[in-house]
Amino acid sequence: MCDEFTAADAARVTRRGFTALGGAAAMIGLGLDMDGASARSAGQGAALSETRVSIPTAGGHADAIFIHPVHGTHPGIVMWPDIAGLRDAYKIMARRLAVAGYAVLVVNQYYRGGPAPVLSSFAQWRTPQGQAKLAPMIAALTPGAVTSDAAAYVHFLDQQAVVDRKRKIGSVGYCMGGPFAVRTAAAAAARVGAVATLHGASLVTDKPDSPHLLIPKMKARYLIAIAANDDEKQPEAKEVLRKAFAAAKLPAEIEVYPGTLHGWCPPDSQVYNAEQAERAWARLLVTFKAALG
């Protein structure tokens, strides 16, 4: 789970996250502050458009960042952040995905509590103040609320001229966003063709609304990248998922990433693992290309 980072886990950390997001931005050649503007990737020469948008939902109006190549039409992607919410780290990852040829909607899952950023960094949510601030916002994210929001996000993408409606939509979620990405595929099964969960939390539970029970309703290709310490705590989950995907006849790559701790992918995470984050990113691109083009 997102909040299960123990002293034993800390003792096994061999790589820490970047001390500044500027390092991650430099790695992919993208600046930090681009809201409402266009920019060019220094490394790959791709002109991007980035806009802050407001999306009508049953819960109000959700703010999000929409990033896409300036030219052409592209498959749409719904990106769900981790427990710390939409912040600079996710703008960086969304830009990188846009450079790869996708129209990316990175959402503020906490819009009911206020506009993003709700927290400025991954580390902030571990403070008593951060946890107290997030607690009511997390409580509002019931399975029904997430499913409704997900349908609204897919609908928004389908209304955008830069989104190629002849191709399926993808969804990617990190940490608490992992099950949200799964629920996106159930909320819009006819449109969502690829889902990736990176250190996704609580994909398999004993509750009647467990995300894995939605698999028969879906029509998507899956990437499930599991943190090593998550696998240690729930080793049976990967087999439950494999059986569920096999029964539904859905392609799914399910793998435990050695040496990783829950939260290893975002560059501002305290347990960021650059090598394994890049490996997961490469598999994400393979999954999306195979299912979305």
Confidence of residue 122 (pLDDT cuts 50, 70, 90): confident
Query: pLDDT tens-digit profile of 63-78?
Result: 999 999 999 999 999 9
Query: pLDDT tens-digit profile of 224-259?
Result: 999 999 999 999 999 999 999 999 999 999 999 999
The per-residue pLDDT for 123 is 86
**Is residue 6 predicted with pLDDT exceeding 90?**
no
**Is residue 173 predicted with pLDDT exceeding 70?**
yes
Greatest mean pLDDT among 118-122, 149-153, 266-270: 149-153
Least confident of 105-114, 117-126, 226-235, 248-257: 117-126
More confident residue, 120 or 89: 89
Sheet strands side by side (includes 37-40): 37-40, 47-57, 60-69, 103-107, 76-80, 169-174, 192-198, 221-227, 252-257
Taken in order of first residue, the domains within the chain and their CATH numbers are 7-292 (3.40.50.1820)
Q: What angle do CA 215, 98, 146 make, to 5 degrees?
A: 35
